[in-house]
Amino acid sequence: MRVVVTDPNLLPLRDEFEELLPKATEVVWLPDQLLGALRTADVLVGPAFTPEMAGAAGRLRLVQVAGAGTDRIEAPGVPVANTYHHEDSIAEYIVWALIGLRRELPAADAALRRDRWRSNVYNPSIRQPETLGSARVGFLGFGHIGRATWRLLRAFGVQAWAVTASGRTEGAGLNWAGDTSQLDRLLDESDTLVVSAPLTHTTRGIIGAPELERLGPNGVLVNVARGPLVKQRPLYDALRDRTIRAAALDVWYSYPETGDQAAPADVPFGELDNVLLTPHLSGITRQTFRRRIEDIAANVHALANGNELRNVVRH
């Protein structure tokens, strides 16, 4: 069995991953000559698979993504599998962001670095902040991430509701749930919006200026799904003009092609003081990737033994 790994996120667990694989498995890590390496590969573990790669990979039996998204995979005729396990790490991120933004902790930190005590105690014009427990949270999407986040938020006494494509959230214990025709109601009743829906042709741009206005001047938005679910110019305008109170953005509209330098959007979110900006790291923890390599190794074993593959998303 020959496995080609093109996902650099797995490198910190290289030894652990190789120990989990069947004996005599050959693993090629981040090959310089990718097309050549693919000619004799049985499994590709990576975030992308192009028609050019497919043309070179004559004996490939599985494309395994070390994450949930398969939007960069073009592999007709080859099974494609994914894996998750990022939901607990992302849920922690969402709770951190909501506490920080609702209590305006980043602004207090920045002010004190300039010797200004930004608190209602010292400046009565600043309003007293709200606890997380007083939040009214609307989930746009309620899959792995939404459910993991709700498990944490319930401990704070939060009220929550959700809209999903199907309108179903069986057994979740939310105040209510509906399909996307109920989005306006969700925004009207929420002061917090957690965006965790998949990016599809129907969800692209689902949050624009009218929706942000419904969320209102006390509204906090957290996007951990995909950037284009929220229209970037209306979001920037709403933050700049305080149409909404704040946002935490971990997903973006453009990404580095190589290295670690690239503007994440066409508008200058970095100039605003009411937005937390993070480089798509909410799910990036050792615990996430340890569980992912276990899934991937299990699929390599299944392939070697002729057993059913896990998490196949398409053939």
pLDDT in tens, 187-228: 999 999 999 999 999 999 999 999 999 999 999 999 999 999
Query: pLDDT band for position 170 (50/70/90)?
Result: confident
Mean pLDDT for the stretch of residues 289-300: 98
Query: Does 129 have pLDDT greater than 90?
Result: yes
Which of the 8 DSSP states describes residue 26? E
Query: Does 68 have pLDDT greater than 90?
Result: no
CA distance 196 to 91: 11
Four-CA torsion 175, 148, 276, 282, nearest 10 degrees? -160
Which of the 8 DSSP states describes residue 11? G
Looking at residue 95, what is its pLDDT? 98
Q: Given its phi and psi angles, is residue 306 left (phi above 0), alpha (psi -120 to 50 degrees) or beta?
A: left
In angstroms, the Cα distances linking 50 to 169, 200, 262, 269 are 35, 20, 23, 32
Mean pLDDT for the stretch of residues 108-127: 96
CA distance 83 to 236: 33
Q: Which of 288, 285, 281 is nearest to 260 (CA)?
A: 281
**H or E stretch including 200?**
none
The answer on 50 and 12 residing in a single domain is yes
Total domains in the fold of the chain: 2
Looking at residue 75, what is its pLDDT? 74
Mean pLDDT for the stretch of residues 30-49: 97
Q: Which of 166, 194, 200 is nearest to 69 (CA)?
A: 200
The answer on 138 and 64 residing in a single domain is no
The answer on 272 and 205 residing in a single domain is yes
Mean pLDDT of the chain: 96
The answer on 145 and 213 residing in a single domain is yes
Looking at residue 71, what is its pLDDT? 82
The answer on 91 and 75 residing in a single domain is no
The answer on 70 and 102 residing in a single domain is no
CA distance 22 to 43: 13
The answer on 251 and 187 residing in a single domain is yes
Query: Does 176 have pLDDT greater than 80?
Result: yes
Mean pLDDT for the stretch of residues 90-106: 97
Query: Does 96 have pLDDT greater than 80?
Result: yes
Query: Does 255 have pLDDT greater than 90?
Result: yes
Looking at residue 76, what is its pLDDT? 82
CA distance 121 to 123: 6
- Percentage of the chain beyond pLDDT 70 is 100
Task: Tell me the one-letter amino acid at 139.
Answer: F
Q: How many CA atoms lie within 13 A of 56 on its CB side?
A: 16
Query: Does 111 have pLDDT greater than 80?
Result: yes
The answer on 251 and 184 residing in a single domain is yes
Query: Does 69 have pLDDT greater than 90?
Result: no
The answer on 174 and 71 residing in a single domain is no
The answer on 168 and 33 residing in a single domain is no
Domain CATH code at residue 193: 3.40.50.720
Query: Does 122 have pLDDT greater than 80?
Result: yes
Print burial letters for 62-83: b (CB count within 10 Å at least 16), e (below 16).
bbbbbbbebeebbbeebbbbbb
Q: Which residues pair with 139 in a beta bridge?
A: 162, 194
Q: Are 105 and 87 in contact (CB under 8 A)?
A: no
Q: Which residues pair with 29 in a beta bridge?
A: 5
Q: State the residue range of the domain holding 128.
A: 87-277
The answer on 140 and 68 residing in a single domain is no
Helix (H, G, I), strand (E, B) or coil at 138: strand
The answer on 100 and 70 residing in a single domain is no
Mean pLDDT for the stretch of residues 259-283: 97
φ/ψ of residue 109, rounded to 5: -60, -50
